[in-house]
């Protein structure tokens, strides 16, 4: 089994690329999904309460993701604090799912949205694929999904590595600034290289 990391900034179209890879036969693990699950773990909630206060919780004691995002993405230090709290639990669950999917798939793709974006951080992977798109395209996509204002999206973009930084650690780059057909062609090209 080959383990592939897929990275890209907010609104770059990572999910669309993952869907295309899944159609080609890859197993897919999305760290965002695991990250949402981890927010319900008692130990994670306690650490988040200590780090960011009660304002990120609703009346029932659940984390409100939009409030957490506003608190965590207002500075690089807060983003790093969030990652230090959630990353270990997320990665434990990630590797469990990769192993499970590896029983049925020759290629397993792990979509990574945050955390340390260095080659060393992905030393467990066989390859890194970066998804890029122009900033205005990314902004429009992220705002269209709803739930976030333009200023919220811009704040998150400012805390994320640039497309150039992601490309510098990638083995392959998929330009997802064009049509769906262009993306599908780029994904097929990368898939052919990965499947060798």
The CA-CA-CA angle for residues 87, 95, 189, to 5°, reads 100
Distance between start and end Cα atoms, the chain: 12
104 CB-near residues (< 8 Å, 6+ apart):
27
- To the question of whether residue 2 is assigned a binding role by annotation, the answer is no
- Is 15 known as a binding-site position? yes
Q: Which residues pair with 131 in a beta bridge?
A: 8, 174
DSSP 27-96: EEEEHHHHHHHHTTSHHHHHHHHHHH-GGGB-TTS-B-HHHHHHHHTSSHHHHHHHHHHHHHHHHHHHHH
3: nearest Cα among 104, 114, 122, 107: 107
Residue 170 phi, psi (nearest 5): -90, 150
Is 102 annotated to bind a ligand? Reply is no
| 12 annotated as a binding-site residue | yes
Return binding residues.
11-16
Return binding residues for ATP.
11-16
């Amino acid at each position: 089994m080959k383990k592939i990391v897929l990275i890209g900034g907010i609104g770059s179209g990572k999910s669309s690329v993952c869907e295309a890879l899944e159609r080609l036969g890859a197993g897919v693990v999305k760290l965002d999904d695991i990250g949402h699950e981890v927010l319900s773990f008692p130990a994670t909630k306690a650490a988040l309460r200590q780090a960011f206060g009660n304002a990120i919780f609703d009346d029932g004691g659940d984390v409100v993701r939009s409030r957490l995002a506003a608190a965590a993405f207002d500075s690089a230090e807060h983003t790093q604090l969030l990652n230090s709290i959630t990353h270990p639990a997320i990665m434990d669950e990630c590797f469990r799912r990769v192993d499970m999917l590896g029983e049925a798939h020759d290629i397993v793709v792990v979509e990574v949205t945050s955390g340390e974006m260095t080659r060393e951080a992905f030393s467990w992977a066989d390859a890194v694929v970066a998804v890029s798109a122009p900033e205005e395209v990314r902004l429009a996509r992220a705002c269209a999904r709803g739930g976030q204002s333009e200023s919220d999206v811009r704040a998150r973009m400012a805390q994320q590595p640039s497309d150039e930084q992601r490309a510098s650690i990638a083995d392959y780059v998929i330009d997802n600034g064009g049509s769906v057909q262009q993306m599908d062609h780029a994904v097929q090209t990368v898939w052919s290289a990965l499947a060798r």
